[in-house]
Amino acid sequence: MSFETPSILDSPIEYLKGVGPLKGDMLRKELSVFTFRDLLEHYPNRHLDKTKVNTIREINAQTEFIQVAGTLLNVSVLGEKRGRRLVAQLQDKTGILELTWFQGIQWVQKTLTAGQEYLVYGRTSVFNGKPQITHPEIELLRDTKADGKAFLEPVYPTTEKLKARGLNGRQIGKLTAALLPQISEKDLPENIPARILHHLNLPSRYHAVCALHFPANADQYQAALQRMKFEEFFMAQIRLNLARLNRHRHSKGVVFEKVGDLFNTFYTTYLPFELTGAQKRVLKEIRQDTARGHQMNRLLQGDVGSGKTMVALLTMLLAAGNGYQSCLMAPTEILAQQHFAGLSALLKDLPVQLRLLTGSTKAAERRKILAGLADGSIQMVVGTHAVIEEAVQFQNLGLAIVDEQHRFGVAQRARLWEKATVPPHVLVMTATPIPRTLAMTAYGDLDYSVMDELPPGRQPITTVHRNEHHRARVMDFIRTEIEKGRQAYIIYPLIEESEKLSYEDLMQGYEQVKSFFPEPKYRISMVHGKQPPEQKETNMQRFVTGDTHIMVSTTVIEVGVNVPNASVMVIESTEKFGLSQLHQLRGRVGRGSEKSFCILLTGSRLSNDARERIGIMCATNDGFKIAEKDLELRGPGDIEGTRQSGELNFKLASLVNDKSILELAKFHAGQLLDADEDLASAENLPLRQFLLSQKGKTSWSKIS
Ligand code: ADP
Ligand code: MG
């Protein structure tokens, strides 16, 4: 470890010329800028190009931001109370622009003088055919001319409080302008190997940081931005890869050394269909993972219906064939029961013991199962995660599979098994597709498989949007499907199972469905979270066996339920659901050989967002495409199935807009670590030093 001389960048912010204790305090509180370095990393969000002045006539409905210069005509306060505002007109040779302020009226008014020439910048809108800007940035044109410098002036993110204390977006630039001359290359040492920089034609770290604040021109700024975005992604990829490599090296795992008779017998004589290419590939990955002597910690992402259950079963057979027990955990009782029924039927008379353990397992049966798991006479158990987590003792658990993990989160699951001396292999299966870019960062430290292929012969689901006025016709459509021998789901949104209001919606909906489909000719199941488990189970079972025609349900049905004969999915109040949930729900149909339909019912008035979501659902069945859209619409923070990870917080780079930079970063990080995973070579020394200086950020025990 080298002794680093303290950098000037670590100086407290109030020591910077022009800051002082008062502004220092404000900068800390408002922007979390504590040191020179923090200020340096507080990047401008745009640059003012004073040489680029537009005319007022150019403003139209499509214009977003504009910079214009002109004479201020009059400045007056209008309206009363809440409507009180400061209004001024700016006139250039081509027209008049209205400027409005709702806040800081007195203060702004003092700074403006009618008859003077000003430079104005802001977001335009057109009101009653007249262009206007609310809360523009405004300054005397004389000032800007006196500057004389034709340069790109940085404008920084700031807050109202800072603005009031003389630190608006541009005034912060005075501080960075004072800071930059004080630092040199040694304060911002290069951290990316020269070979990569050269290959990608990226500027050095020092030059890039300077140019982000004060670029000579737009090209230089772009190059700097590319470099810093690349750096952010690259460092994240290096860290995640190191964490994964570290786990591979240091974790112990049980060894499944052979394929085993159970697997082989099942594969050759019981497997009801040919595996898809994706299933085969994932099994191969699992086989390699589990034979190495290190713990497998693999995330398997497969779109709804891609056949994850079969992968789970084959992996469990692999464990059993090697003399190890396995468990499969499902998020709900219904799902656990369904897995148990499905797996039991597939296993037929194979010499392997499989049991179901859930909250409703009777005490006597439960005792027997616990005993069987403890003495090893039971090899496989399916259950709800709560039950398995609790007090179950295994004789030699070698494999834990978690189905539909997005309900409980990856990290917790992985941690659950860390206590054991030799932890079981963990396979986490999720049906919430996550965009590749997000997966690369959110799960970069896990091993990761994708099943992006559906079994052959599936017919694409036709999805349509109808509003409530069409309800009778939708019900008629369901009737014709039932007459063909099919079944239908009708789903109501229950955001919180306890929400009284939506619960009443469900009950009303149920009554309404009954009026369209009178007994005894039609039979209806209803399932919701408030029912006792037995009742839920009976209703579910009646639908599974085809005894009932229609399943009226809340989203408890969302995950994993498999009734291939169901061909219609009606979703009520679709606008209340998010994209990934809609995709999950739709995945309940289209599981058999019959053509299936998804009908998205909504009210007649829709927000733009809802309209867009529905449009996407109607346009594609591809879960990964839908996930990409979801990411675009909601941003990375909110995507279901991702954990909150520090690696998702990038200052400059965006997982939505900078995919190609991320791919590059991933590629180069991977290549670098393949060649030198200890970062021991001379060319990787700067990187190594950088990571060491980022204490706490890199989980990297083997480097010292
Ligand atoms: P999911 O990935 O959503 O959990 P499932 O495992 O429930 O999907 O599988 C969906 C359906 O596809 C099941 O009926 C299953 O039997 C069937 N299936 C799985 N793999 C194949 C395959 N390779 N060929 C044909 N059908 C398959
Ligand atoms: Mg499933």
Which CATH number is 72's domain given?
2.40.50.140
Place of tokens 């529905």: 614
Residue 87 forms part of a structural domain: yes
Q: Are both 521 and 614 inside the same structural domain?
A: yes
Distance 310 CA to ligand 2 centre (A): 9
In a domain, 141, yes or no: yes
What distance in angstroms lies between residue 682's CA and the mean position of ligand 2's atoms? Answer: 48
Does ligand 1 come within 6 angstroms of the Cβ of 433? Answer: no
- Which ligand is nearest to the Cα of residue 342, counting in written order? 1
Alpha carbon of 348 to ligand 1 centroid (Å): 18
441: which 2 tokens? 């960062």
From ligand 1's centre to the CA of 451, what distance in Å?
Answer: 11
- By DSSP bridging, strand 597-602 and strand 462-467 are parallel
Same domain, 405 and 469: no
Give the DSSP letter string of 499-511. -HHHHHHHHHHHH
User: In 3D, which of 69, 113, 63 has the Cα closest to residue 88?
Assistant: 113
In 516-608, where do the E strands start and end?
524-527, 550-553, 566-571, 597-602
pTM of the model: 0.72
Last residue of a domain, one of 568, 587, 620: 620
> 495 with 358, same domain?
no
Atom of ligand 1 nearest to the CA of 312: 6
Q: Is the same domain home to 421 and 481? A: no
Structural domain tally of the chain?
Answer: 3
Residue 641 in contact with ligand 1 by CB distance below 6 A: no
Domain that holds residue 408: 306-430
Q: Is the CB of 310 under 6 A from ligand 1?
A: yes
* Nearest partner of 75 among 101, 57, 55, judged by Cα: 101
Q: Which atom of ligand 1 is nearest to the CA of 306?
A: 2
671 vs 682: CA distance, rounded Å? 16
By most ligand atoms within 8 Å of CB, the mutation choice from 279, 310, 403 for ligand 1 is 310
Q: Is the CB of 308 under 6 A from ligand 1?
A: yes
One domain for residues 475 and 353? no
336 CA → ligand 2 middle, Å: 10
Q: Is residue 468 domain-shared with residue 339, that is, in the same domain? A: no
CA of 311 to the centre of ligand 1 (A): 9
Ligand 1 lined by 275 (C-beta under 6 Å): yes
Label residue 342 left, alpha or beta by phi (over 0 means left) and psi (-120 to 50 means alpha): alpha
Q: Is the CB of 304 under 6 A from ligand 1?
A: yes
- Geometric angle at alpha carbon 184, from 676 and 22, rounded to 5°: 115
Which positions of the chain have pLDDT values less than 70?
A: 1-5, 50, 142-150, 390, 405-421, 495-502, 557-560, 635-648, 695-704
Contacts of 292 (CB under 8 A, 6+ apart): 248, 253, 255
In 3D space, the residue among 120, 118, 113, 122 whose CA is nearest the CA of residue 140 turns out to be 118
Nearest CA to ligand 1 atom 23: 275
pLDDT more than 90, % of the chain: 52
pLDDT for 637 equals: 57
Note whether residue 4 is domain-resident.
Answer: no
Dihedral over Cα of 73, 77, 78, 83: its sign = positive
Please give the distance of CA 645 from its chain centroid, rounded to a whole number.
Answer: 10
Question: At residue 173, what is the residue type?
Answer: G
CB of 586 sitting under 6 A from ligand 1: no
Contact present, 404 and 621 (Cβ < 8 Å): no
276 Cβ inside 6 Å of ligand 1: yes
Q: Is residue 317 part of a domain?
A: yes
Nearest atom in ligand 1 to 587's CA? 3
363 shares its domain with 497? no
Q: Which of 151, 181, 211 is the last residue of a domain?
A: 181
Same-domain pairing of 472 and 402: no
Q: Which of 430, 448, 474 is the last residue of a domain?
A: 430
Does 131 sit behind a cis peptide bond, omega within 30 degrees of 0 on the bond before it? no
- If asked whether residues 320 and 395 sit together in one domain, one would say yes
Nearest-CA residue for ligand 1 atom 4 is 308
Nearest residue (CA) to ligand 1, atom 10: 305
CB 540 near ligand 1, within 6 Å: no
- What are the backbone angles phi and psi of residue 640, rounded to the nearest 5°? -65, 145
**Does residue 21 belong to any structural domain of this protein?**
no
Tell me the helices (H) and strands (E) count for the chain, helix number first.
Answer: 25, 21
Element (H, E) at 122: strand 117-127
User: Mean pLDDT across the chain, nearest whole number?
Assistant: 86
Q: Match 């302020």 to its residue by tokens.
A: 101
What is the Å distance from ligand 2's center to 339 Cα? Answer: 8
Residue 195 lies in a domain: no
The residue whose CA has the least distance to atom 20 of ligand 1 is: 307
Q: For ligand 1, is residue 307 a contact (CB within 6 Å)?
A: yes
418 and 478, same domain (yes or no): no
46 CA → ligand 2 middle, Å: 47
Residues 6 or more apart whose CB falls under 8 angstroms from that of 550 comprise: 478, 482, 487, 488, 489, 490, 513, 517, 522, 523, 524, 525
Between the CA of 279 and the centroid of ligand 1 the distance, in Å, is 10
User: 677 burial class (0-12, 13-18, 19+ CB within 10 angstroms)?
Assistant: middle
Query: Is 403 in the same domain as 532?
Result: no
Q: Is the CB of 592 under 6 A from ligand 1?
A: no
Read off the tokens for 411.
Answer: 């990290």
pLDDT score, position 413 = 54
Q: Does the CB atom of residue 273 touch ligand 1 within 6 A?
A: yes
516 CB burial (10 A radius; 0-12, 13-18, 19+): middle
- Closest ligand to Cα 300: 1
Q: How far is the CA of 496 from the centre of ligand 2 (A)?
A: 23
Ligand 1 center to 687 CA (angstroms): 46
- pLDDT for residue 141: 79
In angstroms, what CA-CA distances link 115 with 53, 133, 473, 480, 703?
Answer: 19, 19, 67, 76, 67
Is residue 677 one of the residues assigned to a domain? no
Paired with 599 in beta bridges are: 464, 570
Q: Find the 561 Cα to ligand 1 centroid distance in Å.
A: 12
Domain assignment present for 337: yes
Which atom of ligand 1 is found nearest the CA of 562? 7
List the CATH number of the domain containing 585: 3.40.50.300
Residue nearest to atom 26 of ligand 1 (CA): 455
What pLDDT was estimated at residue 3?
44
Do residue 614 and residue 508 come from a single domain? yes
Q: What is the pLDDT of residue 347?
A: 95
Ligand 1 in contact with 305 (CB < 6 A)? yes
Amino acid 127: pLDDT: 79
Looking from the CA of residue 302, the nearest atom of ligand 1 is: 2
